[in-house]
Chain A
Amino acid sequence: MNTPLRRVGMAMMVMIVLLLGNATWVQVINADEWRKNPYNKRVLLDEYARKRGLITVADGTVIADVKETTDRLRYLRTYNNGPVYAPVTGYLSVTYGTSGMERAENDLLNGSDDRLFARRVSALITGRDPVGGNVQLTLDSKVQQVAYDQLTAKGFTGSVVAIKPSTGEILAMVSTPSYDPNRLASHDGNEQQAAWKELTAKGNGNPLINRATQGLYPPGSTYKVVVAAAALADGKGKDTQYTAAGTINLPGTSNAPFPNFNGQPCGPGQTVSMETALAKSCNTAFGEMAAQVGKSKLTAQSNKFGFNDSDLKVPLSVETSTLGAIQDEAALYQSGIGQRDVRVTPLQNAMIAATIANGGKRMQPYLVSKVLGPDLKPIDETDPDELDTAMTTANAGVLRDMMIQSEINTGGEGRLANIQVASKTGTAEHGENVSQNKPHAWYIAFAPAQKPEIAIAVIVEDGGDRGLGATGGKVAAPIGRAVMNAYLAGR
């Protein structure tokens, strides 16, 4: 009986070896496939259970904090002043993933970024849990707060972006309506779910969208500064004359009027200068100017300002601003006043203002000024990066002077005392039925005009509180002025 017993012993060993072999396959060789399966929440949960890095603004105020908890996830993400910063910080939710900076800088915040490698190794040796690095933003807490308050005071839907022209630092990035990311970061699954349902419900204004980078709007008359820049580059000057007619027919049509605001002529004579046309925001003159510059030069000029740059990251990803197809001359006329198919993000428009303010040099806009280790020692600092020369310094100066005239010509409240502002307003029609849709109110500006320290773009969707009668000057300009004032008053 011993021979079969020995054989049974062999069979038992074979079974164990088979199990070991299969365990090797599942746990070692083929492990990655199972580990990375989208159904596998383990890796994700581990990430959440790690002490995540903080997000601070320029003055060191913490806007995304962590709190140790007693539950399984161990660390709770908390957001201070959540709605004000939510478009930038985004949210961190076990169920709904991440957005904003939480997503863009996820590797760094959760401690898996290569720049933290040395610290990870030492953590491994000392047996401490790996900890995430901290992110310091360029946001100025005062400017951000004023911008948010200005938009929410009257319940506006819109966005404000402020950039420091000389470096590209983003000083403020606000989008309204906003939301409180704390609810999505809650460790209570029901709370998360309730918040998510509420925030994604129809009719609640899409608060989860960061309009500053994701919203695409027709720029309206604010685009005229790009047309003017193209004309200046083409050898025209601020005194070059254009038609002053109140209404013209679109080329190639017999009965398609292309009017100025309210159909009024731009001046007493047959023609007006570029400067006056910009100051009074005359559509006929700029339609003619765009047609003279031509599609290719206008496109080139727009690209130099940052259009069609699909790689732009701040490091939040930014929707690409575009000119549209511009199939005929009529489309060129309409595009020349920022209508038809021209679409820009508020960030793009702020970048145009900042580029003009910076003497034509376009700086890479950025939100992260410093990356700090868990011990708050700086690991990495962002250096300003010049992307392109959009205009010559001289032309930028001419455009600036014209924009100063435009500001003088613009109505609205809240003019800054003692500070010279260069600006351009826009009142952008949108949608199918132009006469029924309330226009978007735009304002782009920089100040002080001679030595710019802040450039901004403001958009208020659907005319804000002024409805069909809204203009950029009446609705958006006061907000922009208040934001610039908040920044400049402190220095």
Chain B
Amino acid sequence: MLAFAAGLVTLALILVELNQERSLSLRIIYLGLAYLGLFACAHLAVRRWAPYADPAILPCVALLNGLGLVVIHRIDLAMEGTVFPDGSTWDPVAFKQVIWTAIGLLLFAATLKFLPDHRTLARFGYTFGLAGLVALMLPGVLPGFIAPEINGAKIWLRVGPLSIQPGEFAKILLMVFFAAFLVSKRDLFTTAGRRFLGMDLPRARDLGPLFAAWGVAVAVMVLQKDLGSSLLFFGIVLVLLYVATERAAWVVLGVGLFSGGAVIAWKLFTHVQQRVANWQDPIARYDVLGGGYQISQSLFGLATGGIGGAGLGAGRPEMIPEANTDFITAVIGEELGFVGFGALLLIYMVFALRGLRGAISVRDSFGKLLGGGLAFAVCFQVFIVVGGVTKLIPMTGITAPFLSYGGSSLLANYILVALLLRISAAARAPQRAPKPKPQQPAIADQHTVMVERPK
């Protein structure tokens, strides 16, 4: 399957080169081989350190990552020589992304090697929680020179030449924390409060963590103007709570809280109002600064691509701002058409559901919770970004896992995959042979005992 994914990606790369440059170079073979080599190493790492891991997850990731690389390269070609209004020129990023992929895969292998059992993580739950919270809030509270506001969102940390989005890592850290926390305090949350409208309401004091999460989500939205991360974060917490307690009441409460928060944010903040207005009628706000231009271009691209697509390298991604990050799925939808776009979504679905499958069959609660959370996080993130790109929901600005350009996102997602693989490996590993039962005395030698009648 991995070889198949590699073949597909190389083919895609060839098409891009053909359409863009009208010539093929040996470069393609090298790139294809390098890609195959990288993932062969990843595959060996999985075989070595997590031999029972789900076999479908890594090829899905490889395909997504490879497609992302091809499209990022393709956008580089389209933007080549573009001079921006401030005089700077387009900086090709595909090579950087290849480096990030390599680093990501290293991190992936390291996670598998040094984390032979995911339950170890549960022990450091609070540490992770604190680290995650700090990472999440850091760019919001730090001054502008190390945490600059880019495209209206304050989610980056700039350290020398590198910019990091700590929020991407915070996502995983906090998930580990919540899973550990919920498992240890599970009984507390299942204690019934009053019954109301046929639901068991949790006791008021148990709502603490939920309110805390809500508070963090709102803070992210306000301080960092990052609607997507806020929504993603809150959604994950809700799902973890729901899975841990098996109570729909949490979901209802949480959705209610979030809706309330969202409405208030909409009333108070112009950047939220802009997003909603752009979503309602992008064309009407086409020429407005910060208006519907981007989402309109995305829809134009998708619609012009139609069913079959324009063909790789034959679309016009240069017309969509941020084409290689948040709007990369729009480029894929334009060039590969509805067919390719649907396939992409299905790959995400297979990936997330296989992850969830591992979570369902793993035997420990922490693993279940963490695995379910991770799988849901991927799917929900795809929903938020693709929904935004296709005008299903307001655009909130978030990366597409494995596709979008960006080191932080890629690294964090590779750690996420490693964790999912670790959990699925634990789930699929054969049961250790049961301890040999003590030799039973022969039937004749047994005493007569009183047996309970089968019910």
Which residues of A are interface residues toward B (Cβ below 8 A)?
A: 1-6, 8-9, 11-13, 15-16, 18-20, 22-24, 26-28, 30-35, 37, 39-43, 45-46, 72
Contact = CB atoms under 8 A, between A and B. Distances in A.
A369 B183 CA distance: 84
B387 A13 contact: no
A125 to B, nearest CB: 15
12 contacts: A5-B360, A5-B368, A8-B242, A11-B376, A12-B376, A19-B390, A20-B345, A23-B341, A26-B302, A26-B303, A31-B304, A40-B303
Contact of A1 (B243, B283, B315): B243
Given A6-B360, A9-B356, A19-B392, A27 B307 contact: yes
A13 B359 contact: no
Nearest to A34: B303
Nearest to A4: B243
Interface in B381-420: 382-383, 386-387, 390-392
Contacts of A6: 360
Given A5-B243, A15-B383, A31 B303 contact: yes
B129 interface: no
Interface of B: 78, 239, 242-244, 246, 283, 286, 296, 299-307, 310, 315-316, 318-319, 333, 337-338, 341-342, 345-346, 348-349, 352-353, 356, 359-360, 365, 368-369, 372, 375-376, 379-380, 382-383, 386-387, 390-392
| Most chain B CB atoms below 10 A, which of A26, A35, A40, A42 | A26
A22 B341 CA distance: 11
Given A1-B369, A12-B353, 9 more contacts: A1-B246, A15-B382, A23-B345, A26-B391, A27-B341, A34-B302, A34-B303, A37-B283, A42-B316
A200 to B, nearest CB: 23
B372 A40 contact: no
A13 B379 CA distance: 9
Contact of B356 (A12, A30, A34): A12
Contacts of A42: 300-301, 304, 315-316, 319
Contacts of A9: 353, 356, 360
A4 B345 CA distance: 23
Contacts of B244: 1
Contacts of B302: 23, 26-27, 31, 34
A15 B393 CA distance: 12
B345 A39 contact: no
Contacts of B319: 41-42
A4 to B, nearest CB: 4
Contacts of B318: 72
Contacts of B391: 22, 26
Q: Which 6 A-B pairs have the closest CB atoms?
A: A34-B303, A40-B300, A31-B303, A27-B338, A12-B379, A15-B383
Given A5-B368, A19-B386, A27 B337 contact: yes
A149 B168 CA distance: 71
A15 B383 CA distance: 6
A24 B348 CA distance: 17
Nearest to B368: A1
A16 B375 CA distance: 13
Contacts of B246: 1, 3-4
A444 to B, nearest CB: 50
Given A5-B356, A16-B349, A23-B333, A45 B316 contact: yes
A117 B156 CA distance: 54
Contacts of B243: 1, 4-5, 8
A484 B373 CA distance: 87
A1 B239 CA distance: 12
Contacts of A1: 243-244, 246, 365, 368-369
Contacts of B310: 46
Contacts of A11: 376
Contacts of B359: 5
A2 B286 contact: no
B371 to A, nearest CB: 8
A8 B376 contact: yes
Contacts of A27: 302-303, 305-307, 333, 337-338, 341
Contacts of B341: 23, 27
Given A15-B380, A39-B296, A43-B304, A23 B342 contact: yes
Contact of B283 (A12, A26, A39, A46): A39
A35 B365 contact: no
Given A13-B353, A27-B337, A40 B304 contact: yes
Contacts of A4: 242-243, 246
Contacts of B300: 34-35, 37, 39-40, 42
Contacts of A35: 300, 303-304, 306
| Most chain B CB atoms below 10 A, which of A15, A37, A41 | A15
Nearest to A40: B300
Contacts of A2: 360, 368
A22 B368 contact: no
A30 B360 contact: no
Contacts of A24: 338
A389 B380 CA distance: 76
A6 B375 CA distance: 12
A227 B62 CA distance: 84
Nearest to A31: B303
Contacts of A22: 387, 390-392
Contacts of A23: 302, 333, 338, 341-342, 345, 386, 390
A28 B307 contact: yes
B379 A15 contact: yes
A130 to B, nearest CB: 13
Contact of B303 (A16, A33, A72): A33
A12 B352 CA distance: 8
Nearest to B300: A40
A18 B345 CA distance: 11
Contacts of B349: 12-13, 16
A40 B301 CA distance: 8
Contacts of A15: 379-380, 382-383
A20 B342 contact: yes
Contacts of A13: 349, 353
A30 B338 CA distance: 12
Contact of B382 (A19, A33, A45, A46): A19
A26 B366 CA distance: 41
